[in-house]
Amino acid sequence: MNAPGTITRAAPATSVATPVLPPLPPTRGGMDLAEAFRGALSALAANYLRSILTALGIFIGVAAVIATVAVGEGARRQVTAQIQSLGANLLIIWGGSATMGGVRLGAGGRSNLSYDDAVAIAREVPEVEVAVGSIRQTFQMVAGNQNWSAVVIAADPDFFTAHEWVPDSGRLFGTEEAGAARKVVILGATVAENLFGEEDPVGREIRIRSTPFEVIGVMARKGQNPMGQDQDDAVFIPYWTARRSVMGASRANARQVGTISVKVHEGEDMRDAEENIRALMRQRHRVAANEPDSVSVRNLSDIQATRDAAARTLSLLLASVAAVSLLVGGIGVMNIMLVSVTERTREIGLRLAIGARRRDVLAQFLLEALVLALLGGAVGVAAGITLSHLAADLAGWPVLVTLDSVLLAVGVSALTGLFFGFWPARRAARLDPIAALRHD
């Protein structure tokens, strides 16, 4: 005896000609999913060109989702890495603005920071772990018959703690060497390459403004900062060495610094630290209540927040394009499934007449819509990953394809197929078997 709902075995008992579709094999416990899946593939393969065109919208939408998430995540990771390369929980203090001849200069226009300001911040602001002043200036430096122009940063050893600099070879200079104004220097990776090539510079000598310095270390490479500057194109010397031997000091600016780097204790509120530093600087610089702050404090986490906001805006823009494409693709799936129901009305009536349950018919058409959407989604995932790598190679964009984005894209394509395939499936399941068999 034939299993109920099997078309091939029921066909000889009726004059209705079955189209290209395979049988729907219900079992006593419900549908055979494997057989139903094969049937869905056969149904889609019977009209493969129509199926490909229908899945095109899903394909474009999923590819756009993958590429969007990859570009957004890559940009976010790059900004985060650049910010972290400057140092975590870092505040940079610049001089305040000044007015000259009625012209107001911007932040940093007034050099009013001193070495003692940094000492006071480290001592009196409880949220601060270290605070260190630094000065920087560009000089030509010579090693043997090689020369190179780079930034000389002069600071105390706490500068390395604040900016999380570590040596790749050699060592950092200590507090005793800094206090004694020893002529020691640590090279950035870019400077070391240009002055010494493949040779080890540790223990060698370089000259900065004709002053000999012993190279005691080479910094680990950090790359570009968020402003696009090469952080490795610099050398580091003790503050008092710079004042006495390289940059000079007049009686007016003997203890002047250009910026103060402040590292806040982990877990402390950066805003509270910033407010306390502003209040302390107003007190030390004798700023009246009706006057603006004497310093400018920059929280580097604000830069990260700004970059994150820009990346989110770009991602939302691209995601809206992907959403529109998925909507169009979903409408295409619904349209083609409605056409399929109309073309297979007599087949559906025959299945219902020989015992197929309505929920089996509903599940069969839903499965076809799901398979159609997933096929489009799978090709879209491959295309999205390819596009992401092309963008990285051709445009130099940082991209990062994550498993989460792939799962998201597959899930969205599956939901699109189920959502837009439900109505045609429900329409097929609610057909009257007699009316369906009489359908031309």
Q: Which residues, 6 or more positions from 294, have their beta carbon under 8 angstroms from its beta carbon?
A: 95, 96, 110, 112, 281, 282, 285, 287
Which pLDDT score is estimated for 128?
Answer: 92
pLDDT band at 252 (very low <50, low <70, confident <90, very high): low
Q: Which of 397, 412, 413, 409 shows the shortest CA–CA distance to 73?
A: 397
* Tokens 């790598």 -> residue: 389
How far is Cα 341 from Cα 186, in angstroms, rounded to an integer? 76
Is the pLDDT at 196 greater than 80? The verdict is: yes
Per-residue b or e along 386-425, where b marks 16 or more CB atoms closer than 10 Å to that residue's CB: ebbeebbeeeeebbbbeeebbeebbebbbebbbebbbebb
Which pLDDT score is estimated for 214?
Answer: 94
Q: Of residues 28 and 132, which shows the higher confidence score?
A: 132
Is the pLDDT at 430 greater than 90? The verdict is: no
Q: Give the up-direction half-sphere exposure of residue 186: CA atoms within 13 A in the CB hemisphere.
A: 29
How far is Cα 154 from Cα 119, in angstroms, rounded to an integer? 16
Give the pLDDT mean for 423-438: 85
Which pLDDT score is estimated for 29?
Answer: 46
Q: Give the up-direction half-sphere exposure of residue 68: CA atoms within 13 A in the CB hemisphere.
A: 21
pLDDT digits (tens, 9 = 90+) for 344-378: 888 888 888 888 888 888 888 888 888 888 888 88
Q: What is the CB neighbour count within 10 angstroms for residue 113?
A: 26
Which pLDDT score is estimated for 8?
Answer: 42
Please enumerate, as own/partner, the contacts of 315-320 that have beta carbons within 8 Å and a separation of 24 or more.
315/68, 315/69, 315/71, 315/72, 318/64, 318/67, 318/68, 318/71, 318/72, 319/65, 319/68
* Tokens 């096929």 -> residue: 375
pLDDT digits (tens, 9 = 90+) for 54-91: 888 788 888 887 887 787 777 777 777 766 666 668 88
Instruction: Tell me the two tokens of residue 41.
Output: 């593939």
How far is Cα 238 from Cα 232, in angstroms, rounded to an integer? 18
E-assigned strand segments in 71-114? 90-95, 99-100, 103-104
Which pLDDT score is estimated for 360?
Answer: 85
Please enumerate, as own/partner, the contacts of 277-286 that have beta carbons within 8 Å and a separation of 24 or more.
277/91, 277/93, 277/121, 277/125, 277/128, 280/120, 280/121, 280/124, 280/125, 281/93, 281/117, 284/117, 284/120, 285/112
Q: Which residues, 6 or more positions from 156, have their beta carbon under 8 angstroms from its beta carbon?
A: 132, 133, 175, 178, 238, 239
How many secondary structure helices (H) and strands (E) does the chain include? 14, 14
pTM: 0.59
The dihedrals phi and psi of 261, each to the nearest 5 degrees, come to -95, 130
Is the pLDDT at 204 greater than 80? The verdict is: yes
Q: What is the CB neighbour count within 10 angstroms for residue 215?
A: 24
Q: What angle do helix axes 358-394 and 48-86 make, rounded to 10 degrees?
A: 50
Task: Please give the single-letter amino acid code of residue 33.
Answer: L
Whole-number percent of the chain with pLDDT over 70: 82
Q: Of residues 5 and 176, which shows the higher confidence score?
A: 176
pLDDT digits (tens, 9 = 90+) for 13-22: 444 444 444 5
Angle at the Cα of 165 from the Cα atoms of 82 and 275, rounded to 5 degrees: 70
How far is CA 164 from each of CA 84, 220, 221, 262, 325, rounded to the nearest angstrom?
9, 10, 12, 12, 46
Per-residue b or e along 67-84, where b marks 16 or more CB atoms closer than 10 Å to that residue's CB: bbbbbbbbbbebbeebbe
Q: Of residues 244 and 2, which shows the higher confidence score?
A: 244
Q: What is the CB neighbour count within 10 angstroms for residue 361?
A: 25
Instruction: Tell me the two tokens of residue 237.
Output: 């010397």
Average pLDDT taken over every residue of the chain: 81
How far is Cα 170 from Cα 215, in angstroms, rounded to an integer? 9
